Amino acid sequence: MAENPGMPVRPSGRLLRAPEHFLSPAQIAEVTAGRRGFLRGAFAAALAGTGGVAAAQGTGDANILELPAHTKGLGQPVATHGYGQPSQYERNLQRRESPGLTRVSAASVSFAPLQGMFGIITPNGLHFERHHQGWWDIDPSKHRLMINGLVKNPLVFTMDDLMRLPSVSRMHFIECGANTGMEWGNVAVPTVQYTHGMLSCCEFTGVALSTLLDMAGYDKKAGKYILVEGADGSSMTRTVAMERALDDCMVAYAMNGEMLRPENGYPLRMVAPGIQGVSWVKWLRRIEVGDMPYGTKDETLHYVDLMPDGLHRQYTSIQECKSVITSPSGGQTLLDKGFHNITGLAWSGRGKIRRVDVSTDGGRNWRTAKLESPILSKCLTRFNFGWVWDGGPAILQSRAIDDTGYVQPKINQLRAVRGTRSIYHNNAIQSWRVAEGGEVSNVQVY
Amino acid sequence: MAENPGMPVRPSGRLLRAPEHFLSPAQIAEVTAGRRGFLRGAFAAALAGTGGVAAAQGTGDANILELPAHTKGLGQPVATHGYGQPSQYERNLQRRESPGLTRVSAASVSFAPLQGMFGIITPNGLHFERHHQGWWDIDPSKHRLMINGLVKNPLVFTMDDLMRLPSVSRMHFIECGANTGMEWGNVAVPTVQYTHGMLSCCEFTGVALSTLLDMAGYDKKAGKYILVEGADGSSMTRTVAMERALDDCMVAYAMNGEMLRPENGYPLRMVAPGIQGVSWVKWLRRIEVGDMPYGTKDETLHYVDLMPDGLHRQYTSIQECKSVITSPSGGQTLLDKGFHNITGLAWSGRGKIRRVDVSTDGGRNWRTAKLESPILSKCLTRFNFGWVWDGGPAILQSRAIDDTGYVQPKINQLRAVRGTRSIYHNNAIQSWRVAEGGEVSNVQVY
């Protein structure tokens, strides 16, 4: 995706360029004194003194009345955009395809730009994508959901039917089972967008799957599994255990306050908290109750773990406890010593995050990071950690612990069990190397 | 904002049209039998039987192989939009200006379409707007924040400076003090978008104001207030008590995972949890520490409460406990008897929501609604309530109680104290009348 070179934009990601210095105490005194006489002029002078707005507007001289246009004029009206858009200065921050990762872009991935994101909510415009046969904008008035199989009353729902049923809203992360897959080998993908960007987190609204299964009268004895099926050409089908389906799965029509986006399954998708993304079937059209796992293409040939002995592990769908530092991260540069906020995300498919530790020396010493609220089950948790960089080399790592007591493993611990030829379910500790010049890069630390 | 009549779109708001009926048991049996023979064909037949996809694609006949295009073809590639957009079927759902409310649209309001929103997160594209002199897209590299007044070390920050400081993320509602203002009199604004749409809720990320005030060395004895000042032409300035500033206020650069939107103060705004929106100064450029309230234009002439005795109450900035049913709500129509999910929002500027009660008979009987998680302080809480409509007239109300024990008042309780000529701080119970035909309208119940 080409960027327009004629337009100044923020770099993709957090600004870690050398900060301009604060005003000197003398400058501040001058500004404060001046303000008493003539507030607006003095403020302009202060800004000019820092190479700020007034000077930047191209006046060139020290005319203290030369305030920026936005301080003098009438701005844009409300509802200029009935549906708002990001600042023109933020348009570098996009989800991006990794060129060559798959043969066609309709069956590919676009990664979320975690390096420039904040908190835990993924804005819908930056939610990662993984399509198996491209995305469609399906007419919701024509879409149907069928519940059949081992049920007393098979049902077909319209969207209107679904949207008048009892509704639930909950926040959950979704992570592709292949996220961080390149790191199984020794391929150090350059940025966190490409190492961990198949990860998003939204507030989903829909109908509890248990409500629909109850309405259909599922077979409580024989009905041990469900098959979840999408309406797109890939005929995506996945097995989910009935126990999990009844626990916290939902059929969702909305994310982050509005209807799903087409790329995320509009008008209906499966939400399977804690389970890998492929089971969150998009453009959801059918749920069948069965008495055994279905063993479909996407759970026998794909999304299976190639083990060192040459066999495959199947049905390993729960996303284990994991974390990553999103800033500073690969491709960014620290241009100044001193205090930096290290920030990142932690999550577990089994529950809540209990603690995140951060190391700045490659795992020799660890200190506990601050967790932001809310801390929710099967949801991203944002952590922050204060660090004073002395200008020397450093290796930044984060390590998450969930409320089952599970500790996120090192890559060599994971490889000892799982080998190096897998694609899926890599939840190892990620290491970012800070070079003496401040450049941050992906490095594997054993 | 004109709508394109050539294009089918979902109505603005929840679909409450008559749901199509479920398949008959006979049809289902037929479908299920057919599926065993030929899955895809049978599903198409099932859909045709409900007036579904196959029939709707214009085939007209019962050709069971006539699957919808999205089931047969290759869809759009990933990253078609580096920054994604809503479905074409959702473009009715927009924030909208109330024509004639103010003299110019640059000093006006656009309301959030609460009737078609879900959960508690407001998507950034639908966040309400209130500008006093229009909005601007300010170049962040030229923007500065000054901290001055009763401080030891006055400071000027660039955005880079701010973004390397200790960071906090929290979810909070923002409500304009004038929200629901028309209801003080007997003006029953037709829809919840216009009665309550100056309300949004986001996850904000920024720097705690206490961090900045500490860095500047504020005067702990004399410094009892701060003045918060914006960079736009309206010179918006508001006083905030130091106690609140140190408690949970922040200087935010991000909302819902990405940088602020221009209409919401990009690149920097004040976040003053629980306090009315006007104090969340946008395009924030300066914070001054002082020893008394500043008494600026927007706190002496505006955002004051005209009382029955002709005097004004000032500095009543905390948004008291309030709730509203967002669906069904004014302008929507129930086209079918039976089960409906009543849903809405509750919030309090003083803490968490403890309980929400719902009445369907104009306040004679109340039952407790289900609250969705998370329930956070000074944040929206989503409630849901199951209701079986018998087809007769009904009056729907919600009543919130916060964790201080405060109960949301009726409009006549509020008027007894505050009169009818105020504009601001109306937190009364809202009533929606359901007529026998299913039409929902705004009605005042005393």
Mean pLDDT of A367-395: 97
Residues B148 and B254 in one domain: yes
Q: Which residue has the higher pLDDT, B288 or A101?
A: B288
Mean pLDDT of B421-429: 95
Distance between CA B346 and CA B381 in Å, rounded? 5
User: What pLDDT score was predicted for residue B65?
Assistant: 53
CATH number at residue B411: 2.60.40.650
User: What pLDDT score was predicted for residue A101?
Assistant: 84
Q: What is the DSSP string of B362-414?
A: TTSS-EEPEEPSP--TTS-EEEEEEEEE-SS-EEEEEEEEETT--BPPPHHHH
Distance between CA B379 and CA B353 in Å, rounded? 9
Residues A242 and A326 in one domain: no
Is B259 in contact with A90 (Cβ distance < 8 A)? yes
Q: Provide the mean pLDDT of chain A.
A: 87
No. of helices (H) and no. of strands (E), chain B = 10, 24
Residue B25 has pLDDT above 60, yes or no: no
With contact defined as beta carbons under 8 Å apart, do A180 and A158 qualify? no
Tokens matching residue A122: 């993924």
Mean pLDDT of A345-366: 98
User: What pLDDT score was predicted for residue B93?
Assistant: 92
CATH number at residue B191: 3.90.420.10
User: How many domains are there within chain A?
Assistant: 3
Mean pLDDT of A145-171: 96
Residue of A nearest to B170 (CA): A373
- Between A and B, how many residue pairs show a Cβ–Cβ distance under 8 A? 452
User: What pLDDT score was predicted for residue B397?
Assistant: 98
Q: What is the DSSP string of A290-327?
A: ESS----HHHHTSS-EE-TTS-EE----B---EEEEEE
User: What pLDDT score was predicted for residue B101?
Assistant: 83
Write out chain B residues lying below 8 Å of A52, CB-based.
142, 144
Residue pLDDT, tens place only, A255-312: 999 999 999 999 999 999 999 999 999 999 999 999 999 999 988 888 999 999 999 9
The sheet carrying B225-230 orders its strands as: B155-158, B144-149, B284-290, B225-230, B237-241
Write out chain B residues lying below 8 Å of A40, CB-based.
235
User: What pLDDT score was predicted for residue A352?
Assistant: 98
User: What pLDDT score was predicted for residue A80?
Assistant: 92
The lowest-confidence range among A85-94, A308-317, B46-55 is: B46-55
ipTM of the complex: 0.88
Q: Given B138, B144, B340, which is nearest A50 (Cβ)?
A: B144
Calculate what percentage of chain A has a pLDDT beyond 70: 85
Residue of B nearest to A389 (CA): B164
User: What's at B172, amino acid-wise?
Assistant: H
Distance between CA B240 and CA B228 in Å, rounded? 7
User: What pLDDT score was predicted for residue A15?
Assistant: 35
Name every residue whose Cβ is closer than 8 Å to that of residue A409 and which is 6 or more positions away in sequence: A427, A428, A429
Using alpha carbons, select from B72, B77, B83, B69 the residue that is nearest to residue A107.
B77
Give the gap in angstroms from C-alpha B309 to the nearest C-alpha of chain A. 35
Tokens matching residue A325: 């530092």
User: What pLDDT score was predicted for residue A336?
Assistant: 86
pLDDT band at A91 (very low <50, low <70, confident <90, very high): confident
Residues B346 and B429 in one domain: yes
Residue pLDDT, tens place only, A333-355: 998 889 999 999 999 999 999 99
Q: Report which DSSP code applies to A215.
A: H
Residue A134 has pLDDT above 50, yes or no: yes
Q: Domain end: B279, B313, B347, which one?
A: B313
With contact defined as beta carbons under 8 Å apart, do A251 and A290 qualify? no
Beta-strand (E) ranges in B52-179? 96-97, 109-111, 129-130, 144-149, 155-158, 168-175
Residues A30 and A110 in one domain: no
Burial B379-399 (b: 16+ CB within 10 A, else e): bbbbbbbebebeeeebbbbbb
Is A68 in contact with B142 (Cβ distance < 8 A)? yes
Using alpha carbons, select from B55, B236, B251, B51 the residue that is nearest to residue B146.
B251
Residue B50 has pLDDT above 60, yes or no: no
pLDDT band at B425 (very low <50, low <70, confident <90, very high): very high
Write out chain A residues lying below 8 Å of B110, CB-based.
78-79, 82
Helix H or strand E encompassing B73: none
Residue pLDDT, tens place only, B66-99: 789 999 999 999 999 999 999 999 988 999 998 7
Q: What number of other Cβ atoms are within 10 A of residue A295's Cβ?
A: 10
Beta-sheet pairing, A258-259 with A225-230: unpaired
Mean pLDDT of B142-159: 95
With contact defined as beta carbons under 8 Å apart, do B346 and B322 qualify? yes
Write out chain A residues lying below 8 Å of B93, CB-based.
83, 258-259
Residue A8 has pLDDT above 70, yes or no: no
Residues A229 and A327 in one domain: no
Residue A429 has pLDDT above 80, yes or no: yes
Mean pLDDT of B14-21: 32
Is A384 in contact with B168 (Cβ distance < 8 A)? yes
Task: Classify B27 as helix, strand or coil.
Answer: helix
Residues B326 and B291 in one domain: no
Distance between CA B240 and CA B279 in Å, rounded? 8
Is A257 in contact with B118 (Cβ distance < 8 A)? yes
Query: Which residue in A78, A263, A342 has the most chain B C-beta atoms within 10 A of its own C-beta, making it the best mutation to test that interface?
Result: A78
Give the gap in angstroms from C-alpha A360 to the nearest C-alpha of chain B. 16
Residues B101 and B235 in one domain: yes
Residue pLDDT, tens place only, A209-257: 999 999 999 999 999 999 999 999 998 999 999 999 999 999 999 999 9
With contact defined as beta carbons under 8 Å apart, do A334 and A16 qualify? yes
Is A74 in contact with B133 (Cβ distance < 8 A)? yes
Residue of B nearest to A91 (CA): B83
Residues B25 and B110 in one domain: no
Task: Classify B169 as helix, strand or coil.
Answer: strand
pLDDT band at A121 (very low <50, low <70, confident <90, very high): very high
Q: Domain end: A283, A313, A343, which one?
A: A313
Is B117 in contact with A79 (Cβ distance < 8 A)? no
Residues B397 and B378 in one domain: yes
Residue pLDDT, tens place only, B190-212: 999 999 999 999 999 999 999 99
Is A155 in contact with B14 (Cβ distance < 8 A)? no
| Site of tokens 């967790």 | A371
pLDDT band at A194 (very low <50, low <70, confident <90, very high): very high
Q: What are phi and psi of A295, to 5 degrees?
A: 60, 50
Q: Domain end: B278, B313, B348, which one?
A: B313
Q: Which residue has the higher pLDDT, A64 or A312?
A: A312
Query: Which residue in B31, B90, B118 has the most chain A C-beta atoms within 10 A of its own C-beta, making it the best mutation to test that interface?
Result: B118
Residue pLDDT, tens place only, A388-421: 999 999 999 999 999 999 999 999 999 999 999 9
Residues A100 and A232 in one domain: yes
Is A117 in contact with B171 (Cβ distance < 8 A)? no
User: What pLDDT score was predicted for residue A76?
Assistant: 95
Residue of B nearest to A136 (CA): B75
Cα A210 to Cα A216, A217, B118, B142, B442, distances in angstroms: 10, 10, 20, 53, 35
Residues B188 and B296 in one domain: yes
Q: Given A15, A160, A386, which is nearest B160 (Cβ)?
A: A15
Helix H or strand E encompassing A386: strand A381-389
Give the gap in angstroms from C-alpha B76 to the nearest C-alpha of chain A. 5
User: What's at A420, amino acid-wise?
Assistant: T
Tokens matching residue A97: 């395809």
User: What's at B204, amino acid-wise?
Assistant: F
Q: What number of other Cβ atoms are within 10 A of residue B415's Cβ?
A: 18
Give the gap in angstroms from C-alpha B330 to the nearest C-alpha of chain A. 17
User: What pLDDT score was predicted for residue A65?
Assistant: 53
Query: Which residue in B103, B256, B294 has the most chain A C-beta atoms within 10 A of its own C-beta, making it the best mutation to test that interface?
Result: B256
Q: What are phi and psi of A285, to 5 degrees?
A: -120, -15
With contact defined as beta carbons under 8 Å apart, do B154 and B393 qualify? no
Q: What is the pTM of this model?
A: 0.88
Write out chain B residues lying below 8 Å of A256, CB-based.
119, 121, 123, 256
Give helix B25-37 / helix B39-49 axis angle, nearest 10°: 160
Helix H or strand E encompassing A208: strand A199-208
User: What pLDDT score was predicted for residue A99?
Assistant: 77
R_g of chain B, CA atoms, integer Å: 25
Is B97 in contact with A78 (Cβ distance < 8 A)? yes
User: What pLDDT score was predicted for residue A9?
Assistant: 46
Give helix A39-49 / helix A25-37 axis angle, nearest 10°: 160
Residues B278 and B421 in one domain: no
Boundaries of domain holding B299: 96-313
User: What pLDDT score was predicted for residue A203?
Assistant: 98
* Torsion of Cα atoms, A279 then A212 then A349 then A404, to 10°: -150
